[in-house]
Every structure is written in structure tokens, then in C-alpha cells.
Structure 1
Amino acid sequence: MKIIIAGGTGFLGENLDKYFTEKGNQVYIFTRNPKRKNEIFWDAQTIGEWKNSLEKADVLINLTGKSVDCRYHEKNKQEIYSSRIESTKILQKAVDQCSEKPKIWLNASSATIYVHSEKHLNTEEDGVIGDDFSMNICKSWEKEFFEVKNDDIRKAALRTSIVLGKNGGAFPKLKIITKLGLGGKQGRGNQMVSWIHIDDFCKAVDWIIQHETISGIVNVTAPVPLSNENMMKKLRHKMKMPFGLNAPVWQLEIASLFLNTETELLLKSRNVYPEKLIKNGFQFSYPGFDEAILNLLES
């Protein structure tokens, strides 16, 4: 297959690039700073020569968007919003101009679209969507993506949870704080954590591409969310750390100022279930947190 990954130089893009290349596919990355042969310049705002690469592509994956791991002041909020909306909009414009359009377009979204939920398990069918900055970003993003319906393009929005991998994302940070003896619960610890192993993330993307009946909203997350307290306990146990200091909310608020991030990323309860993937027969390599971290802690 010919696969285009827009905004593909981050943690998820690099892993997808490797996964699909190893399977013998041609992968091209759209990026502002092309460094390798398969990378093509784009500014995520205007049509350029990159548009020609979309011709006869089998798959378009759009992962473009400023990281949400920052302070939510007005400038960053605007960049988080516009980087997602503008890139989706310009890709649609480019796709519309193609004589041979991509067969499937997967657009990033986030499991953060669902409300803080400790009890209710959010599926694609009965997920509860709320109204705050993060949720509204996701709603606008998906609205922009599904605005135009091309009969010959299958579209899927990936509501992805926290992705755990050795070489990026949240896991290396969790390992460090656990090693330092700070691996206790964060806040009250009863917020649910939805997560997925990077290998399963790549496999799920491939599965969606291969299964033509899957479209629309897809929760890309492991089937067993767990509480923050339970997650940290399992991590301490596997890393043979006898203790981990708890971090109350006030401490996290101070730390987040120094770390230039927001406490929402740790304290929001994401309780999400991948009903569409499961119903379509997807098999997780790491359905539970224990087997996932055993694999991730292997050197």
C-alpha cells in the first residue's frame, strides 16, 4: 500500500511508519522539517507540492496537532485548536482536488472527548460527551473531519487513549517518577486511566484499514481501563519499588506550573471501551495492563 502520514514525526507517527514499512508498504510523511527520503514538506495550512503525493494513495492518516502537554493559556489554546482544524481542512481541500483519491482517511481524535467518568464505561454508541476546552476541541475537530462526505473515501476518527511505548509518550515519564519513589497515586487516585500499548495501537490502525465495514468513530484503547491508584501500584510492583509517595492535587498544581503542563492530563478520568474494535474481531496483544508493562519493562 501507499500510505501517507500527515504530522507523522511524533511518537505515534514514527511507530506507524516503522510498522507499515516493515510490512513492505510505501510510507510518506508530511512534516514541516523533512530530514529523511520519505519525508515531504508541508506547512499544514496551504496546498503545496505535497498534494501530488496524495494521488493514488491507499491510506491517509492525519496525526497533525500541537501537543496538549502544555499550559492552557490563550495562545496555546488557539494553537491546539487551529493546528487540528486547519490541517484537517487543507487535507480535505487537497483530497477533493485529487483525480484518484485515497481509499481510506484516518484522522486523529482523542478519548478526552468523553466526560470525566469513574463509573460509566464510554463506548462509541453510548459515550457521554461534555463541554469544556478539551472536549470542545475534539468535537470541532471531528465535525470538521466529517463535514465533507466523499462517497469513495472511507473515514474513521480515532478516539485514542494514552498510548504506552518504550520510546515516547507517557510511559518513560511514569517509569522515572516510580524509580524516584514518587510513584504513588495522583490526586484521589480513583480517576480511570484508559490506555493502549503502542503495538496494539499500530495493529488497530492496520485492522481498521483492512476491514471495510469499520468507519466513523472508533475508540482506540485497551479493553480494561484501571484506576490511577491501581495503575501506579502495578507499576511499583513490577519495578520492585517498595513505596511511592502520593501526590495530592495542590502539589500537582504547583508541579504542573514548573513542568509547563496541565493537571487535567493526570486527573481527568477517562473510562473508555473499544466496542467497535472488539465487535469486529480485533485481538489485543496486550489487553491487560500487567502484560503491557511486563513487555515495556523488558530492556
Structure 2
Amino acid sequence: MKYNNIVIAGGNGYLGKVLARYYRDLAEKVIILSRKPQPADGNVETVLWDGKTEGSWTAVLQGADLLVNLCGKNVNCRYTAKNRKEIIASRVIPSLLLGQVIAGLSNPPKLWITVTSATIYRHAEDHAQDEETGDIGYGFSIDVCKQWEEAFLAVPTPLMTRKVALRMGIVLGRNDSVFPRLLNLVKVGLGGRQGDGEQYISWIHEYDVARCMEWLMRNEVDGVLNCVAPEAVKNATFMKLMRDAYGVPFGLPSPQWLLEIGVLMIGTEMELILKSRWVAPKRLLDAGFNFQFSNARHAIHDILSLRV
């Protein structure tokens, strides 16, 4: 099946590039909405926007089969007052803008997906958090997710535009994000557990992210969905799986006191390392989505086979 335009707002980052590669052979055009110009690459084109105001870019949304919103300042930073304001604004403002534009289109996108975060749930070591029974947590990162989803879900759009908020887990891929950074630690013998290693990691293979979005185009599901693999694993287990797959027999652990020094040096927050994210994709599984990578060991072996 050949799709019409696939539009990716804020698509110049890691996940946007994953989606562009996946959809370029499945769609007439893949259009990236970006603040920075990029040369066309076959049927993958960049259209300029500022994420704040309407402009000529709105024309690309007419008749699109899919709009994916990936906008948002990277949360891998210190939560200063300035960064907090930018993190929230960079998510809420584009969501409201896209909703405003879609409401005025004669032929709006059939499906609008906003990628939010599975970190909206509480620190969980007792049982998995799903969309129906999960407990929303507290703190800044949760407040971001709540405002983000509220802006997306509350903005009025035409009935023909279905809306899905994907609460994304940690996306695993070879080229960027968390995986190559952990792999670098493994390579130099520092790939042991972080903290006590008991915190859960809810992850998803990058290929399953793209497959999930395509599946959603063909299945009438809407609302909030957890986009994570069915098998969450503890940090200590995950690091051992990486060491085993790469052939490194040991990895020095990073106790909490050392991590506290490290996060200050690299400009990030402890929560990003030690929060236990145990999340279950109940609604996706109930609706019949089949993950190609549901097992962490298989996902890690697959990613390591993709030499770049």
C-alpha cells in the first residue's frame, strides 16, 4: 500500500530520521517540518517552520495520511528555571499550533500522533504500569508530560483526524539515543549496573516504533497508548545483556555517589538514570499489535549486528 504524504514535525532528530528511512519507500513524500533547511533526499523533503506561527508550511498537512509530532527540547539537561520553561514551551506550543491549523483544513491529516513519554508514570519496582491502572507520578518530568498530553488531547480537531498520544519508552537503536552511549561504557569496562541496578527499563526497538505507527494508520485505535516492548528489564540485567552480546566479560558498576558527581559533570539529572520505568503496552497488545522485538536480548543482538 502506498501512503500519501507523511509529515514529521520536529523530525531532524534521531527518531525523525528513523521514521523517514522507514516511510520513504511506503509514501509518496516524507516531509520534515524543521527550523533548519536541509536538501531534499529523494522523496524526503524539508519544509521550514518555526513551531510557533502559521505559514506556508500548513499546506503540507492537506491530505496527509499521517502527522507525527516529535517537537520538544531534549530533557537530557539540568532542570534550571530556563530549561524547565523551554522544555514545556517546546512541547505545548507546537501541539496547540498544529491543532489550530488542522482545525481549519478542508482535508486534514487522517492520523495525528504525538510522541510523549512513558516517564509520566511513577517510579515502579512493584508492578508494571499500564494505561488503565497505572499511577501517574509527581515531579517536574511528570508535570511536563501532563501539560504536553493535555495540550494535545484537549485542542479541538476535526472528527476525521484521529489522535494518538504515544507514551514512548527508551528507543533502542545503533545510531543515537541511549544505546550507543551505554555501548561506549561497555567497551571500556564501565558497563556495570547504575545505582543498585534494580530500576526497570521500559524500552522499544526503533523498528517497532515505526511499525507501530504504520499499524495505527490501519487500525482504528485512538487516545493514550504505551509504546514500549512487553518485556521491561532491570538495569543490571540490561547491562549484562549488552556485555554478553558485545563479548565483554565484566563491567564496573556505578554507585549512586559516583553518579551524583557524573550527572553534574555532564549536565543531566539523576532521575534520567535511576527512575524505575516499568511500563506495559496493554492497549497495543489488546488491540492485536505484534512486536517484532519483544525480548531485550534479541533486540540488543539485532542492533549490534547493524554496524555503522
**TM-score of the superposition, structure 1-length normalised?**
0.97
Name the CA distance, whole Å, in 1 between partners of 2:28 and 2:188: 42
Query: Counterparts of 1:238-257 in structure 2 under 5 Å?
Result: 238-257=245-264
2:135 equivalent to 1:128: yes
Deviations 1:35-70 (A, max 9, x none): 122100011111111111111212111000000111
- Measure how far apart 1:236 and its partner are: 1.1
Deviations 1:174-209 (A, max 9, x none): 100011111111011100000001011111111112
Partner of 2:165 in structure 1?
A: 157
Q: How many residues align?
A: 298
Q: Choose which of 255, 258, 268 in structure 2 pairs with 1:261.
A: 268
Partner of 1:33 in structure 2?
A: 36
Partner of 1:167 in structure 2?
A: 175
SS in 2 for 1:28: strand
Partner of 1:96 in structure 2?
A: 103
2:197 equivalent to 1:189: yes
Partner of 2:230 in structure 1?
A: 223
Q: Choose which of 208, 220, 232 in structure 1 pairs with 2:216.
A: 208
Name the CA distance, whole Å, in 1 between partners of 2:145 and 2:167: 9
Query: Counterparts of 1:65-80 in structure 2 under 5 Å?
Result: 65-80=72-87
Name the CA distance, whole Å, in 1 between partners of 2:39 and 2:271: 36
Tell me the percent identity.
43
Name the CA distance, whole Å, in 1 between partners of 2:28 and 2:193: 42
Partner of 1:198 in structure 2?
A: 206
Structure 1 pair 24–89 and aligned structure 2 pair: CA distance change class (3 A): closer
Look up the equivalent residue of 2:89 and give its one-letter code: S
Name the CA distance, whole Å, in 2 between partners of 1:148 and 1:290: 40
Partner of 1:272 in structure 2?
A: 279
Q: Choose which of 2, 6, 9 in structure 2 pairs with 1:3.
A: 6
| CA root-mean-square deviation | 1.0
**TM-score of the superposition, structure 2-length normalised?**
0.95
SS in 2 for 1:19: helix
Look up the equivalent residue of 1:209 and give its one-letter code: M
Deviations 1:208-238 (A, max 9, x none): 12111x1000111000001001111111111
Q: Choose which of 2, 21, 25 in structure 1 pairs with 2:24.
A: 21
Name the CA distance, whole Å, in 2 between partners of 1:27 and 1:119: 42
- Measure how far apart 1:22 and its partner are: 2.1
Assess if the C-alpha contact under 8 Å between 2:192 and 2:240 holds in 1: yes
- Measure how far apart 1:24 and its partner are: 3.7
Look up the equivalent residue of 1:130 and give its one-letter code: G
